[in-house]
Structure 1
Amino acid sequence: MSLRVIVGISGASGAAIGLRVLELLAETGRVETHLVISPAAERTLATEVDSAAPARARQLATRYHEVSDIGAAIASGSFRTAGMIVAPCSIRSLSAIAYGQLDNLLARAADVHLKERRRLVLPVRESPLHLGHLRAMTQVTEYGAIVAPPVPPFYLMPDTIAELIDQIARRAIGLLDLGTAALPINEWQGGGA
């Protein structure tokens, strides 16, 4: 394994995206993944995917960290990574990251990525947005995070929800710029007139 990526799954709807991120990274055989799941994400995974999904996510990860373990290796800047994805990113997690409310490992690990100037990808899952949400997004963007709402790639003409989830996960991973051809994204080839 040559790369480390931290994957956080927060309690927003769309937990299948985080699960797919883990699957795709595991398939490369080159990425060491460190997983943090919030308590709300455990419930969302079980509700939206199936009751076995939280356990499956932990099995896919190279290492699982309890969200309460703020002394874990991933809470330190000396633990080198290629980046972090919080998928999906709830407004609660976004706000904690934006305003330094570092009371759990997910927020602390994200904060470490900001302070160390490493890639932090936040597929924020909320709609509609009020001004407080937008300000939190602006704040993390000013700190260096990449806010990447999980927007479906309709131009690819997906046939299933699984295809949508797959492309959203691939896009999030692509934003880490890992330089791997093992995770291609279907690119827009342009339309002709």
Structure 2
Amino acid sequence: MTRQTLSQRKRAAIVEAAVLELSDKGFQAMSMDALAARAEVSKRTVYNHFASKELLFQEIAKLIFEQSSEVTAIQYQPDVAIDGQLTAYGRNEIELLKSRRFRDLCRVMIAECIHSPQLAAEAMVKFAEQEQTLDQWISAAIADGKLQSVDANYAANQFHGLIKAQAFWPQLLMGQPFPDDETCEQIISDAVVMFTGRYGV
């Protein structure tokens, strides 16, 4: 494992403190003084890493997208059954959504989508995922004749929605416990069956 430098550790501490400050106070009310105190660094150190609150918020958005793309990247495999590929993707998605850290990051982003929609929109556009995503997988499956012709982004959002309705939104918004492993497998299975039932060839 690569050891972090002191500068890298301080940067990470600042980001973690920002997540907590944003969760407690929101973007507009968050001060760099309070952030520095929470991160146990000087205010100058904060500004050395992030010249503005906007850049710090963009860093949090970047973390969300990087974590998501690392876990849920999917490459279309023409010789593997569609339902098998979707099941594997769904399991990876569940592992991501199970992470409390990921949900905490999302909670901050969602709150700012409400209070500062322009800021959130700019961050999301700047750090849009570059890895292979489910909509690209769907497009490849359509081209291969394995799925019906459909707007790939629309269909991808449907599949995500089937999973997140039980294993993300209730936990994020209502504090419900994350489903156990057996329930997660049922959620994935049902999502795959509904998706392939609608779009399968």
Q: Specify the TM-score bucket, using the shorter chain as the normaliser.
A: under 0.3
Structure 1 or 2: larger strand share? 1
Question: When the two structures are superposed, what TM-score results if normalisation uses the length of structure 2?
Answer: 0.26
Larger Rg computed on CA atoms? 2
Bigger helix fraction = 2
* TM-score normalised by L of structure 1: 0.27
